[in-house]
Structure 1
Amino acid sequence: MKAMILAAGKGERMRPLTLHTPKPLVPVAGVPLIEYHLRALAEAGFTEVVINHAWLGQQIEDHLGDGSRFGLDIRYSAEAEPLETGGGIFKALPLLGEDPFLLVNGDVWTDYAFARLRAPLAGLAHLVLVDNPGHHGKGDFRLDGAQVHDADGSGETWTYSGISVLDPALFAGCQAGAFKLAPLLRQAMASGQVTGEHHAGQWIDVGTLERLAEVERLLGERG
Structure 2
Amino acid sequence: MKALVLSGGAGTRLRPITHTSAKQPVPVANKPVLFYGLEAIAEAGVVDVGIIVGDTADEIREAVGDGSQFGLRVTYIRQHAPLGLAHAVLIAREFLGEDDFVMYLGDNFIVGGITPLVEEFRSERPDAQILLTHVPNPTCFGVAELDAEGKVVALEEKPEFPKSDLALVGVFLFGPAVHEAVRAIGPSDRGELEISHAVQWLIDRERDVRSTIISGYWKDTGNVTDMLEVNRSVLERIEPAIEGTVTDDCEIIGRVRIEAGAEVRGSRIVGPVVIGAGTVIKDAYIGPFTAVAEGCLIEDCEIEYSIVLSGASLTGARRVEASLIGRHVTVTPAPRNRAAHRLVLGDHSQAQISA
RMSD, matched Cα: 2.5
For the pair 1:148 / 2:152, whether they are aligned, the reply is yes
Counterparts of 2:124 and 2:10 in 1: how far apart (Å)? 31
> Whose radius of gyration is greater, 1 or 2?
2
In the alignment, residue 130 of structure 1 is paired with which amino acid? T
- Per the alignment, residue 111 of structure 2 pairs with 111
Counterparts of 2:103 and 2:201 in 1: how far apart (Å)? 18
1:124 to 124, 127, 137: 127
TM-score normalised by L of structure 2: 0.58
Identical columns (%) = 29
Deviations 1:132-167 (A, max 9, x none): 243647860033445212158897441100111112
Write 1 or 2 for the structure with the bigger share of strand.
2
Residue correspondences, number: 223
Gaps of 5+ in 1: none
For the pair 1:169 / 2:174, whether they are aligned, the reply is no
For the pair 1:195 / 2:199, whether they are aligned, the reply is no
SS in 1 for 2:177: helix
CA contact (8 A) 1:122 1:195 kept: no
Deviations 1:7-58 (A, max 9, x none): 1111011011111111111111111110001111112211111110113112
Gaps of 5+ in 2: 239-355
Distance 1:154 1:27, change over 3 A: closer
TM-score normalised by L of structure 1: 0.90
Distance 1:11 1:155, change over 3 A: closer
CA contact (8 A) 2:90 2:179 kept: yes
- Per the alignment, residue 221 of structure 2 pairs with 206
CA contact (8 A) 2:101 2:173 kept: yes
CA contact (8 A) 1:11 1:18 kept: yes
Write 1 or 2 for the structure with the bigger share of helix.
1
- Per the alignment, residue 217 of structure 1 pairs with 232
CA contact (8 A) 1:100 1:167 kept: yes
Q: Point out which structure has higher relative CO (alpha carbons under 8 A, 6+ apart).
A: 1
For the pair 1:11 / 2:11, whether they are aligned, the reply is yes
Q: Which runs of at least 4 in structure 1 moved beyond 3 Å after TM superposition? A: 120-123, 133-139, 143-146, 151-157, 175-178
In the alignment, residue 54 of structure 1 is paired with which amino acid? G
**Counterparts of 1:42-191 in structure 2 under 5 Å?**
42-116=42-116, 117-118=118-119, 119-134=122-137, 136=139, 140-144=143-147, 145=149, 147-150=151-154, 156-172=164-180, 174=183, 179-191=193-205
